[in-house]
Structure 1
Amino acid sequence: MKKTLLTILVLLLLPIQVFAVTTWSKPTFIHGGGLSQEQVEQTSLLLGIQSEDDVLISPVVGKDLENYIGGNPTATEDMISSALVTKKEKDSGLSVEIKTPENITLVTKEQYEGAAITAGVGDVTIFIASPFAVTGESALAGVYKAFELNGEDLSRGAMQLAQEELGVLAGITEESKNKEDFDGAKLAQAMVEIKEEIIAAIEKEGSITREEIQKIIEDSLKKLNLINIVSTVNIDKLVNYFVQFSNTEGLDFTQMKKQLEGLGKELAPKIKDLLKEAESSGFLDKVLKFFEELFQKLSTLLD
């Protein structure tokens, strides 16, 4: 009798367990914990959410980020940028759209994609928004939480790297955004190329030296006309970051290479136009300089 009752109890519990582990049943809206309720509602509209019933909703707070990446605690009131994460079919890749580009001041769409790839995020569409101007660095924490809520674990080391990556890129953007030849897309392309070359070196040789990493970084920045824009201090930060990248265990290079290839293809037309524009501008500068020098010589002769 006891065995029969136990069997019935187990059978009754089984369906509950099956439904409990269902993941990504809805798009997941993770809003910055620093937003008021009114701002949360405003952000949901900015992200295109028609009804709260259509999404899984949760805030991301400072303690969450501390759990994901460690380090110094982040104040919840500083976490503003928010994310809507929707799962896609396997091997469908990663896409990011910033719904309020005027309010995300230091991180571009492509830089979000690159950092998300580093974190091991894949097969999702990510919409990012903020109701007012912020750097945008905390939005990725919302993506980590969306994965956690839906039962998918991301490597802590990979999340730490991704957050560090966003911080380094935000610093470069802040320093360089007013310089004539700077563009966030070129910086994102440099990151793609650097990662691809470092991964190739590690897969071939088993490791890579700091000096080799520095050469790869400088060569890529030269190729994209960024070497005289990114300061020596920030180049050192890139070197330190990529040394950390090369030494982090558990990164899925196979998945990362596939996604980096996709991001590179997405960036290619924009980079081609930017380099062509820079080349044309350089030619025009040479023509103007020629005539300027010519007029100076003529003026000297006339005097």
Structure 2
Amino acid sequence: MKKFMKWLGLAVAGLALLTAAPHVVRADTWSQPVATIGSSLTAEQKSGTLSTLQNAAGVNNASQLTVNGATLVKYLNPSGSTFTESSGVWSSALVQKTDNGGINVKIVPYNGTNNITTITADQYRNAALTAGVSNANLYITSAVRIDGSGALAGVYAAFAQNGENLNNQQINAAQQEVNTLSSITQANKDKDGYSDKQLNNAVAGAKQQMASQSNNGQQTLSQNQIGNIVDSQLKQNNLTTIINNNQRQLIINLLVNVQKAGSLKNNDFKAQAGKLADSIQNSAKGLFDKLNKSLNTEENRNFLQKIWDGIVSFFNGIAQWIQSLIK
């Protein structure tokens, strides 16, 4: 009897612990989308921002989350930003979680004007992938001209509000990635043969390749291995002669950070990276068809050159053999 009472007491205690523990339910889709609104907007701008985002997403039931300086400090400062709690926030986002389809981003004009000056749609997508986001539609806008950092912080906050606290190290890696890719695009945007889509496709492709070679993060790739992957992706995207050595090293560094942060270990990372690369290519099909044709032409040229070199070498060998007989 005493033994029975002892086991009964343990069972009751265990049940009490289970019921007392906080329980977070993570669904593939949320009950409603979340609109993250910059705190520095006027009342009229907040209303206009919400309407702009909801119209773009085709919804009218988004819950609202205010993004302020404290949000920027929490999510962006650990990666090196210097926001304060009094920093202004204007750029805003609407996050719509889905159960498939990858990460999709649309920068929505506010009253006909695109006011996001620095971060591109594909940079948002790559950052979201690194941070651990999967299968989500993100709509970004701003009533005033601004770089767009506030909207990205809002995306992270929206996931936290729905019980999906993204890994801090991955968020830091994502922020470093945004800074790196935006700086490379700013430096090369006026060069012939360069586009932000090529750069982001190369990075997405590198992420997919890294996940594959590392067995989804179970093995650690060396910096040299990551460098080889970067070189392969730059070649495939016809960026080898445009990206300089310093920029190449910056890309390698950001991918090393992605690996260190644990992003490759996310169950869906490889598939999401593949979907991202496919989507980028489909969004600029003419550009990438031209690149593939150019790459194939170069490969064919190299192949024919090798054949010709072999023929020349063969006849040179015969000529040398004949000369040796004459001597």
Give the TM-score category using the shorter length. 0.7 to 0.9
Q: How much is the aligned-residue C-alpha RMSD, in angstroms? A: 3.2
Alpha carbons of structure 1 residues 147 and 198: separation in structure 2 relative to 1, 3 Å: same
What residue in structure 2 maps to residue 57 of structure 1? 64
Residues 198 and 42 (structure 1), Cα distance of their counterparts in 2 relative to 1, 3 Å cut = same
Contact 1:108–1:185 at 8 Å: present in 2 too?
A: no
Number of the residue aligned with 1:176: 188
2:256 pairs with 1:249: no
What is the rounded CA distance, in whole Å, between the counterparts of 1:258 and 1:245 in structure 2? Answer: 16
* Counterpart code for 1:134: I
| Pair 1:94 & 2:97 matched | no
Equivalent in 31, 37, 43 of residue 31 of structure 1: 37
Q: Does residue 1:225 correspond to 2:238, yes or no?
A: yes
Alpha-carbon distance in 1 for matches of 2:272, 2:174: 15
What amino acid sits opposite 1:140 in the alignment? L
Counterparts of residues 194-209 of structure 1 (less than 5 Å)? 194-203=206-215, 206-209=219-222
Instruction: Give the 3 Å change call, closer, same or farther, for CA 276–47 of structure 1 in structure 2.
Output: same
Q: Does 1:274 align with 2:287?
A: yes
How far is the alpha carbon of 1:199 from its aligned partner?
1.8
> 1:142 Cα shift?
0.7
Per the TM alignment, residue 145 of structure 1 is displaced from its structure 2 partner at its CA by: 0.7
Q: C-alpha distance in 2, partners of 1:66/1:243?
A: 24
Is the alpha carbon distance of 1:21 and 1:247 closer, same or farther for their aligned partners in structure 2, counting shifts above 3 Å?
Answer: closer
Counterpart residue number, 2:75 = 68
CA shift in 2, pair 1:34/1:174, >3 Å = farther
| CA shift for structure 1 position 116 | 0.9
CA distance in 1, matches of 2:170, 2:24: 29
Deviation (angstroms), 1:21: 9.9
Amino acid paired to 1:223: Q
Percent sequence identity is: 30
Larger Rg over CA atoms: 2
User: Which residues of structure 2 form unaligned runs of 5+?
Assistant: 1-18, 298-327
Residue number in structure 2 paired with 1:262: 275
CA distance in 1 between partners of 2:26 and 2:205 (Å): 38
The whole-number CA distance in structure 2 between the counterparts of 1:181 and 1:67 is: 38
Deviating more after overlay: 116-125 vs 130-139: 130-139
* Contact 1:106 1:173 (C-alpha < 8 Å) held by counterparts: no
What's the counterpart of residue 49 of structure 2?
43
3-state DSSP of counterpart to 1:214: helix
1:56 to partner: Cα distance = 1.5
Residue identity opposite 2:146 in structure 1: V
Unaligned runs of 5+ in 1: 1-13, 284-303
**TM value normalised by structure 1:** 0.75
